[in-house]
Chain A
């Protein structure tokens, strides 16, 4: 079973539906026991980094998450959930993340071409950097749906895919049993469902 960690951030309806659509036994939960008994975990998130990091800590679920990941349980962070996996974010100040992956979250502003719009919204093809088990059913060039204004950098040891937006932005990361997608697989049509299916087979 896959548990979507509910720490009070964002709307989890679509994500839950997408897992059910691929036949996965899934539930949304904030109960530490559910996280412990799950086969794999998904850390979702939309909104601001500081608020999300605070809610995750206050819920105490960050500790459970760390324990389960240390045991080798697969974890997938989505969008802000992926950003939380890193050490730090510079979104409105400087904030601590989970530090499960090396790297930091920085604004796109000032980094990408001025003519491009922020947030980066829309479908953008994936450029593969390394083999990754959650990409086993998709191919390079497949498009996925992004909505974000900040991105992960200094994460060379975990980056597995990028998307070009005047420069290559981190699109997906993986280190051991920890996975992250900056894009929304639950909103990326058949390609997104294939990524979720591959994750649910881990």
Chain B
């Protein structure tokens, strides 16, 4: 039986992990390569590298880091951030990324998903959507959650999947950072609308939040989080153990 995936997300700027803190056993927590190795040993099923740089020079540094990580870490790597064209897909795939996640790039250029899926296959294209309730309606936000696009989220995600997105990362702006648990209502809506893997993001504060997620919504395939792993509030080894004890299939 396929296992539920646990995915730490690393924000990378200037070749360093932003928000990296103390970890026993690694000397340089701001090194994406060291942190990626550490999470892999703990049992992370996949890693997301999020490029939050803006300039061209910094982008080259990001791909150097990606290449170095991919040469030392042998689990699937997803890259997001600054993906606006098929050339951006090419750039990160050549450096060892397995999947590429698009967000604002797909909003600006609706044909990006289709073009990339045709070239690299559906399994390579991940649609990452930042979604927030506005007057009771789920709306897609762009530019890191700052701009309401006015688009209804479930329809938008369905469209992306129809165009070839092979996976969905659903990030709830409403629950993000609150640490009160994942946005089950929003996830349920999206899971019912698409038949590709859905990755829950935004809201995890403790181990129980992941257990509730997978127990309540068996259609959710993976849970993604950043700071709770970086700050050591949740250790992936403990999380995997708790999942198994709760009867949720997990790779140890």
Residues of A within 8 A of B (CB): 11, 13-14, 17-18, 20-21, 46-47, 115, 117-125, 143, 145-147, 164-165, 186-190, 192-193
Considering the complex, which residues of chain B in the window 1-39 have a beta carbon less than 8 Å from any beta carbon of chain A? 1-3, 5
Q: Which residue of B lies closest to A166 (CB)?
A: B1
* Contact pick for B2, options A18, A123, A189, A190, CB 8 Å: A123
Q: Hey, what's the 0/1 contact readout for B68-93 against A, CB within 8 Å counting as 1?
A: 00111011100000000000000001
Distance to closest chain B CB from A153 (angstroms): 19
Closest to A186 in B: B74
Which B residues lie at the A interface, using CB under 8 A? 1-3, 5, 40, 45, 67, 70-72, 74-76, 93-96, 98, 121-123, 166-167, 195-197, 219, 221-222, 251
Quote the shortest CB–CB distance from A119 to chain B (angstroms).
5
User: Which residue on chain A has the smallest CB distance to residue B222?
Assistant: A122
Q: Measured between alpha carbons, how far is A115 from B94 in the docked complex, in Å?
A: 34
A124-B1 in contact given A13-B96, A118-B195 (Cβ < 8 Å)? yes
5 contacts between A and B (CB under 8 A): A14-B98, A117-B221, A122-B45, A164-B1, A187-B74
Asked if residues B123 and A14 are in contact (CB atoms below 8 Å), the reply is: no
Q: Are A122 and B40 in contact (CB under 8 A)?
A: no
Specify the main secondary structure of chain A where it touches its partner.
mixed
The interface residues of chain B, by DSSP majority, are classed as loop
Q: Most A CB atoms within 10 A — which of B2, B123, B166?
A: B2
Distance in Å from the Cβ of A190 to the closest Cβ of chain B? 8
Q: B75 to A187, Cβ gap below 8 A?
A: yes
- Checking B5, B67, B71, B121 against A122 with a beta-carbon cut-off of 8 angstroms, the contacting residue is B5
Q: Which residues of B contact A119 (CB under 8 A)?
A: 122-123, 166
Docked-complex contact B123 and A123, CB < 8 angstroms:
no
Instruction: Find out whether the CB atom of B75 lies under 8 angstroms from the CB atom of A145.
Output: yes
Please determine whether B221 and A123 come into contact, CB atoms closer than 8 angstroms. Answer: no
Distance in Å from the Cβ of A95 to the closest Cβ of chain B?
17
Q: Given that A119-B166, A122-B2, A125-B1 are contacting pairs, would A13 and B70 also be in contact in the complex, using a CB cutoff of 8 Å?
A: yes
Other than the given A14-B70, A117-B196, 8 more pairs (CB < 8 A) read A11-B96, A21-B74, A46-B121, A121-B221, A123-B5, A145-B75, A164-B1, A189-B75
CA separation between A20 and B72, bound complex, in Å? 10
Question: Which residue on A lies nearest to B4, using beta carbons?
Answer: A122
In the complex, what residues of A have CB within 8 A of residue B71's CB?
A: 13, 17, 20-21
Question: How many A-B pairs with Cβ below 8 Å?
Answer: 80
Q: How far is the CB of A73 from chain B (nearest CB, A)?
A: 25
Question: Of A18, A21, A143, A145, which is within 8 A of B76 by CB?
Answer: A145
Asked whether, in the complex, the Cβ of A123 is within 8 Å of the Cβ of B45, the reply is yes
Min CB distance A7 to B, Å, is 17
Contacting residues, chain A, for B93 (C-beta < 8 A): 11
B197 touches A122 (CB 8 A): yes
Chain A residues lying within 8 Å of B123, measured Cβ to Cβ, are 119, 121, 147
Bound CA–CA A146/B98 (angstroms)? 12
Q: Are the C-beta atoms of B70 and A117 separated by less than 8 Å?
A: no
Contact indicator A17/B70 (Cβ below 8 Å): yes
The 4 A-B pairs of least Cβ separation, nearest first, read: A143-B251, A17-B71, A123-B251, A123-B3
CA–CA, A13 and B92, complex, Å: 12
Residue from B1, B70, B167 in contact with A121 in the complex, judged by beta carbons closer than 8 Å = B167
Q: For residue B3, which residues in chain A have a CB less than 8 angstroms away from its CB?
A: 122-125, 143
Q: Which residues of A contact B72 (CB under 8 A)?
A: 17, 21
Given contacts A11-B93, A11-B94, A122-B221, contact A117 B74 (CB under 8 A): no
